[in-house]
């Protein structure tokens, strides 16, 4: 899965404990224990591999980010700043249809090829 470069150090440090995606049917096949490889969309040689610890679906960004604000406290000044950025990832109509899935992640390992 592609990820913005700025989130990789937060995952490695353990500050960002969830990865968020549109809860499409194919993403909902991801289960606890699965490995995710999160690849920088700025440098495909920079990535982090994590294990899914839990899966939770939210009706939208506000619910997901409000419950998990700690994931973003070192990246954004306010919840509104985080919401503004995250709402750019997927069209509102798709979020309204599918919701947002938060994969709780653990055991980050990194590599740069």
Mean of pLDDT over the chain: 93
pLDDT level of residue 67 (50, 70, 90 thresholds) = very high
Q: Is residue 113 over pLDDT 50?
A: no
**Which region, left, alpha or beta, applies to residue 11 given φ > 0 means left and ψ of -120 to 50 means alpha?**
alpha
CATH number of domain containing 101 = 2.30.130.30
Return all residues near 77 (Cβ < 8 A) that are at least 6 apart.
Answer: none
CB neighbours (10 Å) of residue 42? 12
By the 10 Å C-beta count (0-12 exposed, 13-18 middle, 19+ buried), 101 is classed as buried
Q: Is residue 8 over pLDDT 90?
A: yes
- What is the domain count for the chain? 1
- Name the residue with tokens 């406290």: 73
Q: Considering only CA atoms, which of 70, 64, 68, 52 is closest in space to residue 99?
A: 64
Instruction: Report the pLDDT value the prediction gives residue 65, as an integer from 0 to 100.
Output: 96
Its pTM stands at: 0.91
- Domain of residue 62: give its range: 2-112
């Amino acid at each position: 899965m592609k990820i913005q470069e700025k989130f990789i150090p937060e995952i490695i440090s353990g500050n960002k404990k969830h990865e968020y995606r549109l809860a499409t049917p194919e993403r909902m096949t991801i289960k606890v224990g699965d490995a995710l490889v999160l690849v920088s969309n700025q440098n495909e040689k920079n990535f982090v591999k994590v294990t899914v610890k839990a899966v939770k679906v939210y009706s939208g960004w506000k619910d997901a980010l409000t419950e998990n604000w700690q994931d973003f406290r070192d990246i954004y000044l306010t919840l509104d700043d985080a919401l503004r950025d995250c709402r750019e990832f997927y069209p509102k109509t798709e979020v309204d249809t599918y919701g947002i899935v938060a994969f709780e992640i653990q055991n980050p390992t990194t590599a740069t090829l």
